[in-house]
């Protein structure tokens, strides 16, 4: 999950560099096109091994991921980066809520504390502003909720599909939706917007480098987030996703952002402590499992 957070942070930095040249729909198209090309090459070299049988869930995951990406990029273009990212990372809270009510997953008070501590740290770092029109905030909430649903679905799909196949469902959906939008806009000669009617735009010069970086970083993040949600309960994994903020702050500084103030540094410390709590919880959980297996009368004993 730390590797995934790093990938998504680099993706956010590349999107920030492209923000003045491309709109949300165009960035969704190119981001997923680059990743899909790399995945298809990988499939040709090493075909995926999957049990299959959950095609509808695979399609559903792709659609939810695409909605999350559209709304995230829409918010980044219209809200301060801090507010946009705060909304997107509320997915960790929604994952914990949905996992508890739908799948009865409760990971204990320590994990809940880590989750809330990480969320508090996120607020301190990004200081979200609430002075913008309501529909931007609705888009932000949709980003967080759809991300949560997509990630929970990933955890349920891992036992049926190769991680690359799950990622490709998102990439295919993320190329198909803006492609249809571009085609409708071109044929009907409608006035383009940035989501429903997207005008095609060809990158130039250094824009190619940033687009390839955007796509590769996003593919990196999607692959490792898929592996991580297949390895443990969604509520535990999602808490580690707050590391995205720490990476984003330092990448932002490399792109010219100012050094974090005292409140932001306090938030970063909260996020780091949140990750430490999760790590200690997992270490103790593994140790207890090993101790139980060594007891007389156990299956492995």
Give whole-number Cα distances, 278 to 104, 107, 233, in Å.
19, 10, 12
Each residue's pLDDT, cut to its tens digit, for the chain (301 residues) gives 888 888 888 888 888 888 888 888 899 999 999 999 999 999 999 988 878 788 899 999 899 989 998 888 888 777 766 667 777 777 777 777 777 777 666 667 777 787 788 778 777 866 766 677 878 878 888 988 898 888 888 877 888 888 888 889 889 999 999 999 999 999 998 988 877 888 999 998 899 999 999 999 999 988 888 888 777 666 666 666 667 677 777 777 777 766 777 887 787 788 777 767 766 776 676 666 666 666 655 445 4
According to DSSP, residue 250 is labeled H
Query: Tell me, what's the pLDDT at 301?
Result: 46
- Rounded CA gap, 17 and 219, in Å? 18
Residues 271 and 124: beta-carbon distance below 8 Å: no
Q: Is 103 helix (H, G, I), strand (E, B) or coil?
A: helix
Q: Which residue has the tokens 């974090």?
A: 260
Sign (positive or negative) of CA dihedral 36, 37, 39, 43: positive
196-199 contacts at long range (C-beta below 8 A, 24 or more positions apart): 198/23, 198/25, 198/26, 198/29, 199/26
Q: Are 105 and 236 in contact (CB under 8 A)?
A: no
Contact between 221 and 7 (Cβ < 8 Å): yes
Cβ(140)–Cβ(73) under 8 Å?
no
Q: How many other CB atoms are there within 10 angstroms of residue 184's CB atom?
A: 13
* Per-residue model confidence (pLDDT) at position 299: 47
State pTM to two decimals.
0.75
Q: By CB neighbour count within 10 A (0-12 exposed, 13-18 middle, 19+ buried), where does 96 fall?
A: buried
What was the pLDDT predicted at 252? 72
Q: At what angle do helices 55-78 and 163-188 cross, to 10 degrees?
A: 60
What pLDDT score was predicted for residue 26?
92
Across 31-42, b (16+ Cβ under 10 Å) vs e yields bbbbbbebbeee
Output the pLDDT for position 239: 64
Among 220, 270, 262, which residue's Cα sits nearest to residue 242? 270
Q: What is the CA radius of gyration of the chain?
A: 20
For residue 132, give the DSSP letter. Answer: S
The separation between CA 227 and the C-alpha centre of its own chain, rounded to angstroms, equals 13
């Amino acid at each position: 999950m730390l590797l995934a957070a790093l990938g998504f942070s680099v993706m956010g930095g590349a999107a920030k560099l492209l923000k003045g040249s491309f709109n949300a729909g165009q960035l969704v198209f190119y981001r997923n096109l680059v990743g899909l090309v790399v995945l298809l090459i990988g499939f040709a070299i090493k075909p995926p091994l999957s049990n299959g049988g959950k095609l509808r869930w695979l399609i559903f995951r792709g659609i939810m991921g695409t909605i999350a990406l559209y709304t995230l990029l829409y918010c980044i273009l219209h809200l301060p980066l801090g507010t946009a990212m705060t909304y997107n990372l509320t997915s960790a809270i929604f994952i914990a809520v949905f996992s508890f009510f739908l799948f009865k997953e409760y990971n204990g008070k320590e994990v809940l504390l880590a989750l809330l501590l990480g969320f508090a740290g996120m607020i301190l770092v990004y200081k979200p502003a609430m002075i913008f029109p309501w529909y931007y905030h609705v888009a932000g909430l949709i980003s967080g909720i759809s991300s949560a649903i997509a990630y929970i679905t990933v955890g349920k799909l891992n036992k049926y599909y190769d991680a690359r196949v799950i990622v490709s469902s998102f990439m295919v959906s993320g190329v198909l939706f803006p492609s249809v939008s571009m085609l409708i806009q071109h044929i009907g000669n409608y006035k383009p917007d940035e989501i429903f009617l997207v005008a095609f735009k060809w990158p130039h010069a250094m824009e190619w480098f940033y687009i390839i970086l955007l796509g590769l970083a996003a593919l990196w993040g999607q692959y490792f987030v898929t592996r991580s949600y297949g390895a443990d309960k969604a509520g535990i994994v999602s808490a580690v996703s707050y590391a995205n903020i720490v990476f984003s702050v330092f990448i932002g500084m490399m792109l010219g952002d100012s050094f974090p103030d005292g409140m932001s540094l306090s938030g970063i410390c909260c996020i780091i402590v949140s990750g430490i709590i999760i790590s200690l919880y997992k270490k103790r959980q593994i140790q207890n499992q090993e101790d139980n297996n060594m007891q007389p009368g156990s299956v492995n004993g």
